[in-house]
Structure 1
Amino acid sequence: MVWYVLLVAAVGAERLVELVIAERNRRWSRARGGTEFGSRHYPVMVVLHTALLAGCVFEVVALHRPFLPAVGFPMLALVVAAQVLRWWCITTLGRQWNTRVIVIPGAARISGGPYRVIPHPNYVAVIVEGFALPLVHGAWITAAVFTVLNAALLKTRLEVENTALARLR
């Protein structure tokens, strides 16, 4: 179980790195006239993603969830794949990547990397991680609750983001 707590902590540390990058990119975007969209749902997203990490650890520890290799190892592979996809998105978008929805007037819409294949690949990574990370160690309640709540949040987020992206060339 210690290794699982370390895995969740590593994902949490990665999120902190993302927030540092996002803040740097936010300042860069704002300096170029960038406008933020959907700021009202952003705190909900932060709470939900923080709760995912806490729920993973809490459920495994409090409810003594066992590690089941037949489920755990494939889910671990999906967690790793989600991180690879997420960082592919971050590197493809460069300074335009953010955890917030910010559009710079006149900026070109990025269509390379994973965006060649699907319009919102980062959300694919979020969805996969949201069920796979808890299921690595049997936290099925956390996986189910996060998946349902995240689906509702993503509905709003995608509407906001698609409206904002329609402003790009």
Structure 2
Amino acid sequence: MWRPLTPRWRKLVLVVHVVSSLGWLGITMVNAVLTFTSVFTDDARRQHAAILMMEQIGGYLLLPVSLTALVSGIVLGVGTKWGLIRYKWVAIKLVLTLIAAGLTLFSLLPGIRELAAAAESTMDGVFVEAGRRVDGFYPIIVSTTMYVTMTVLSVYKPGGKTPYGRRVAATRLRDRQPA
């Protein structure tokens, strides 16, 4: 039988979710600045430092922060009236978070590690050509768009209930009425 989170636990999980989600966005913004530096600096040593800092920050923080946001969001969905797929906005957030976490794990982190390895193996004073490409901004643009979309969904809660959510509500209403 489903049991909702107590108010104390709900607030604790909500704080963890908000902090980890903001952390995920913050790491992305830091990577945006470092990517900008890598692409546009005139100093190869500065470019190497920016790339290596991307690995230090993103390499260690992105996975645990993204998984914390995902797991805490699931706990909130399961432990509150919103559910995971009862409301459209929650279902969309879940899908976006799964996609973002998957892209982080299988695309972004390997790309950052590969770029850092290139910086480590490139002589001082020589630019890392892969670090000069503007397509390094694509993951930042995509992830920031996803995070902002999820934030807007959380604030405005658009779309109402899913078909599943309407069935659950109808069943609960029918079970409460006397025979």
After TM superposition, the score normalised by the length of structure 2 is 0.35
> Which structure has greater helix proportion?
2
Q: If you compute each CA radius of gyration, which structure gives the higher value, 1 or 2? A: 2
